[in-house]
Structure 1
Amino acid sequence: MSFEHDGIKQVEKEELKELLKNQDQAPIIIDVRELDEYEEGHIPGLPLIPMSNFPNIVDQLDKEQSYLFVCRSGGRSQNVAMFLQNQGFKDVSNYYGGMLAWDGEVKSGAEWIVKDVKEIKGMS
């Protein structure tokens, strides 16, 4: 069951698993960790945009789109969500507990390193 922290919706593990199953209605889910962390292990199918890149790409993101952010423990992803909310984004949320709480499938390697945000639906 989701809850709110500092004005940001927090998504818990079981809800994230459901969102991953029904990706047609799901928000765009983005891993915001660093490349080495992502390569070590990430949720399959999630793109990587490191937290430090967001100030550079914020103008390329669709403010009407729904986003959910994932990191190691939920701290950096919370900060990305708060940053975007401060930039006028309405529907941003955080995966509470991050990869430390994740017990689902994990993939290693550089599966999807975003070089151009146009690669991700909902980003122009």
Structure 2
Amino acid sequence: MAFEQDGIKQIEVSDLKELINNTTKEPIIIDVREVEEYEEAHIPGIPLIPMHTIPNVMDQLDKEQTYLFVCRSGNRSQNVALYLQNQGFENVQNYFGGMLAWDGEVKSGPEWIVSDVKELKK
């Protein structure tokens, strides 16, 4: 059941599974961990934009779009959501508990490391 923390909507495991199986394009789910963590295990089909690169690509993100961020425990993704919210993004969400709470399918390897934010529009 989704809830709010520090003004950011928190999505839990069951909600995330529903969103992944949903065919709509919202929200765009983004993993913000480091490349090594992502390659070790990630949710299939979820792109990676490491947290430290978010300020560099922020201008390419659509402020009208909804984004849901994922990390290892939910802390870095919460910080990314708060940062973007402070930059004028109103539709940002956090996956509460992160990959530590994920009990669904995982994939390893460099499946979708984003080099150009336009790739997210696929």
TM range (shorter): over 0.9
Instruction: Tell me the amino acid that sits aligned with residue 95 of structure 1.
Output: Y
TM-score (norm 2): 0.98
* Partner secondary structure for residue 99 of structure 2: helix
Q: How many matched pairs?
A: 122
Cα shift at 1:121: 1.2
Matches within 5 A, 1:109-120: 109-120=109-120
* 8 Å CA contact 1:20, 1:26 repeated in 2: no
Q: TM-score, normalised by structure 1?
A: 0.96
- 2:91 match: 91
CA distance in 2, matches of 1:26, 1:41: 23
Equivalent residues of 1:60, 1:117 under 8 A apart: yes
Q: Tell me the SS of whatever aligns to 2:69.
A: strand
Residues 72-95 of structure 1 show CA distances to partners (whole Å, capped at 9, x for unaligned) of: 000000000000000100110000
Larger deviation, residues 20-29 vs 94-103: 20-29
Q: Secondary structure at the match of 1:38?
A: helix
Corresponding position of 2:17: 17
Query: Where in structure 1 are there 5+ consecutive unaligned residues?
Result: none
Distance 1:40 1:20 in 2: 20
RMSD between superposed Cα atoms in Å: 1.0
2:67 partner letter: Y
Task: Letter of the 1:30 partner, please give it.
Answer: I
- Percent identity among equivalent residues? 73
Match of 2:38 in 1: 38
Taking structure 1 as reference, are residues 114 and 60 closer, same or farther at Cα in structure 2, changes over 3 Å only? same
Task: State the distance in 1 between where 2:18 and 2:52 align.
Answer: 28
- Give the Å deviation of 1:23: 3.3
